A and B are shown apart, each in its own frame.
Chain A
Amino acid sequence: MNIFRLSGDVCHLIAIIILFLKIWRSKSCAGISGKSQVLFALVFTTRYLDLFTSYISAYNTVMKVVYLLLAYSTVGLIFFRFRNSYDSESDSFRVEFLLVPVAGLSFLENYAFTPLEILWTFSIYLESVAILPQLFMITKTGEAESITAHYLLFLGLYRALYLANWLWRFHTEGFYDQIAVVSGVVQTIFYCDFFYLYFTRVLRGSGKMSLP
Chain B
Amino acid sequence: EDDALPKDEL
A residues within 8 A CB of B10?
9, 12, 60, 63-64, 67
Cα separation A12 to B9 with both chains bound (whole Å): 13
For the complex, what is the distance from the CA of A180 to the CA of B3, rounded to whole Å?
A: 14
CA–CA, A165 to B9, complex, Å? 10
Q: Is the CB of A112 within 8 A of B8?
A: no
The contact of B8 among A60, A114, A120, by CB within 8 Å, is A60
Say whether A50 contacts B7, CB under 8 Å. yes
Specify the main secondary structure of chain B where it touches its partner.
loop
Residues of B contacting A60 in the complex (Cβ-Cβ under 8 angstroms): 8, 10
**Assembly CA distance A67 to B9 (angstroms):** 13
- Structural contact, B3 and A111, CB atoms closer than 8 A: yes
A5 contacts B5, C-beta separation under 8 Å: no
Number of interface residues of A (CB under 8 A): 21
Minimum distance in angstroms from B2 CB to a CB of chain A? 8
Q: How far is the CA of A95 from the CA of B5 in the complex (A)?
A: 29
Closest to A111 in B: B4
Inter-chain CA distance A165–B1, complex, in Å, is 25
Q: Which residue of B lies closest to A113 (CB)?
A: B1
Whether the Cβ atoms of A177 and B8 lie closer than 8 Å is no
Contacts of B7 in A (CB 8 A): 47, 50, 54, 56, 120
Mark each residue of chain A from 106 to 128: 1 if its CB lies under 8 Å from any CB of chain B, else 0.
00000110100100100000000
Contacts of A5 in B (CB 8 A): 9
Instruction: Spell out B's residues near A (CB within 8 Å).
Output: 1, 3-10
Q: A54-B7, A111-B4, A177-B5 are in contact. List 16 more A-B contacts (CB 8 A).
A: A47-B7, A50-B7, A56-B6, A56-B8, A60-B8, A60-B10, A63-B10, A64-B10, A67-B10, A111-B3, A111-B5, A117-B4, A120-B7, A162-B9, A165-B9, A180-B9
